[in-house]
Structure 1
């Protein structure tokens, strides 16, 4: 399967709410950089259709879940205005029509300055305008969530949509709490536990990794002021369905949990 055909296939699958076999079934030697090239071609198609970049998502930063998904590296992908929303006061969220949707509790950053690869964590923190807790809805264009890291990055990094909670000041103590915090994700008859440190050592470290990897996507520009970056799930992702209520709770008062109810799209 030529790479341009792979981009066509995944673009059609995403916009048609369909699933396709993993690319690596026909392209067993697919590399992560080739996956980024396919993703860049899909991105070009979306921009040509009028979509507007809202920011980036980092996937698979939580190393505790790598064995579950058969991946061995973080990946990143684009987010667009059409899929990034603030959580409303009533917490009701329309669940997009996506294959096998799952929920991921994450830490989200908004930017006021352009971060660069040579920056240390202190300098990176100085680029952040606000920090928030958010919920990413992820999707698998491949049946049963079976794929490799190159498959994942090619498939828009498994991103479906992002809902962002209240924006908070990036104070030194709050940024420190992002690493030391624990979080509980609760839904119908199940609970998942996670920690900030699981995300590549902390969300700021995940951001640092993203900044160092942006040029793996052909034509990708640095993160711009006004962009949003979500840094990866703090727990394992959980399947979700309309009618369900899910909530999160942190073990620190510096971060606030969320409660949302999904309605059919």
Structure 2
């Protein structure tokens, strides 16, 4: 049975207050065993309305759990999504610092980020989606868990704004020139992730639903099936999911990446 409107508002209140207080709660799916992805999506929209009423402006979206290699680790076997806001997005041109204040059990994810010049619809393939892309960049998404120990179901993540905490996006690279090269590179690249000079993991672009453009295609289909969602539009910034495993982070650490096979700048982020 789907949540009624008052139940949806109640769950949104719980998520927002938990997030604002920087604390954690038991998964919603434990409190309400019938709570499913449809319920979670409605709660997520209600949470977004509350954040917008508080002055935050959605500027894009994040896609989570696109990396199939980590599905078993978290017990989540399908992608989720959540809004990216003007207050959670930082565009940087080089090494950057980021405060972890207010984030609960944060983890770091190296991702590929797109900026769009035109709309994306569910009937578009990867070639057409690439034509809608204005620029590509590499960035770090900082995710957080309102649920202790990163134990949850996919529906819990969807309701809790897709676990989004912050997005630090590196220099934009305009998508110009040979489209076939871009299509190949956006599949064949690899990212190496290091903490304080120690290599932590290496991931392939194909980990992300076979490539970041395919992740966008998946999102477009999900949004088209959601009566409350708007399609990807011009000016949106979308980050497509972690290429490596996600790792716990703490103040004082410096995280860096190396990029193979894709013409985007690597990242260096000091956590404070």
> Partners in 2 of 1:253 and 1:124 — Cα distance?
18
Task: Give the match for residue 13 of structure 1.
Answer: 18
Unaligned runs of 5+ in 1: none
Task: Give the match for residue 165 of structure 1.
Answer: 170
Task: Give the match for residue 245 of structure 1.
Answer: 254
TM-score (norm 1): 0.95
Residues 1:70 and 2:79 are matched in the alignment? no
Task: Give the match for residue 221 of structure 1.
Answer: 230
Q: Deviations over 1:101-140 (max 9, x none)?
A: 0000000000110111111111111111000001000000
Task: Give the match for residue 41 of structure 1.
Answer: 46
Cα shift at 1:255: 3.0
Q: Deviations over 1:230-258 (max 9, x none)?
A: 00000111111111000000122623311
Residues 217 and 44 of structure 1: is their aligned pair in 2 closer, same or farther, counting only changes over 3 Å? Answer: farther
State the number of aligned residues: 263
State how 1:57-206 maps to structure 2 within 5 Å.
57-171=62-176, 172=179, 173-188=181-196, 189=198, 191-206=200-215
> Partners in 2 of 1:47 and 1:261 — Cα distance?
29
Cα shift at 1:89: 3.5
> Partners in 2 of 1:93 and 1:27 — Cα distance?
36
Unaligned runs of 5+ in 2: none
Task: Give the match for residue 212 of structure 1.
Answer: 221
- Cα contact 1:22–1:147 (8 A) shared by 2: yes
Residues 182 and 90 of structure 1: is their aligned pair in 2 closer, same or farther, counting only changes over 3 Å? Answer: closer
> Partners in 2 of 1:115 and 1:68 — Cα distance?
31
Residues 148 and 73 of structure 1: is their aligned pair in 2 closer, same or farther, counting only changes over 3 Å? Answer: same
- Cα contact 1:174–1:254 (8 A) shared by 2: no
Q: Deviations over 1:203-226 (max 9, x none)?
A: 000000001001454522112211
TM-score (norm 2): 0.92
- Cα contact 1:199–1:232 (8 A) shared by 2: yes
